Amino acid sequence: MTDFSSTGFSRRGVLAAFAATIVTAAPTFTNAAGLLRGAGDIRRLRMVSPRTGERIDTIYWIEGKYIPEAMNEISLFMRDWRTNQTHQIDARAVDILAASHNLLDAREPYTLLSGYRSPQTNAMLRSRSGGVAKNSRHMIGEAADLRLGSRSVDQIYRAGVACGGGGVGKYSGSNFVHMDCGPVRSWGR
């Protein structure tokens, strides 16, 4: 234990300073859903879509405020590429993606395999695979399937789980991780 009396600090003084810091930071944590560690005071999302050839690198949140134009750009980027339909992507999902990316300390953008899915696309994919949920969070703009070339599926999965902000699924055989802003849960093979 440190003896603060010899340094001119008292335990009460240190605790008061800490409490003041927490009170000052509280508005940021409230607006940012503080459970999403690692997102930062400036939040940036970087992705590439192999389906459309598009790239996005945008700052979507600054000091407690989402930037509507950037959020719209993200929603357009994450559209259903099969039908070209868009849906507003939930900001909580974007926060989870950004926080996970920061925790991974990755320089490369995510590869987006699937963002928003229209009900028609989801039904088609469901008819081809048993791993597609009937009421997928993709259909309401709350999910993304991602990969990174420089990180393993397990590393991305662990970063998503560490955020504690929603569902995280590991699909090692298909080399991607699902992240959503639904109830906190995890699964994987």
Tell me the per-residue pLDDT of 48-75, one tens digit each, with 9 for 90 and over: 999 999 999 999 999 899 999 999 999 9
- Its sign, for the CA torsion 128, 134, 139, 142, is negative
> What span, in angstroms and rounded, lies between the C-alpha atoms of 128 and 119?
14
Q: What is the CATH number of domain 35-188?
A: 3.30.1380.10
Query: How does the average pLDDT of the chain come out, rounded?
Result: 84
pLDDT of residue 189: 73
Residue 101, pLDDT above cutoff 50: yes
Domain boundaries, given as residue ranges, for the chain: 1-31, 35-188
Residue 37, pLDDT above cutoff 80: no
Cα 128 → chain centroid? 27
pTM, two decimals, is: 0.78
Q: Which of 27-31, 158-162, 173-177 has the lowest mean pLDDT?
A: 27-31
> What span, in angstroms and rounded, lies between the C-alpha atoms of 19 and 15?
6
Tell me the per-residue pLDDT of 2-32, one tens digit each, with 9 for 90 and over: 343 444 444 444 334 433 333 333 333 333 3
Residue of higher predicted confidence among 36 and 79: 79
Count the Cβ atoms, other than its own, within 10 Å of residue 29: 13
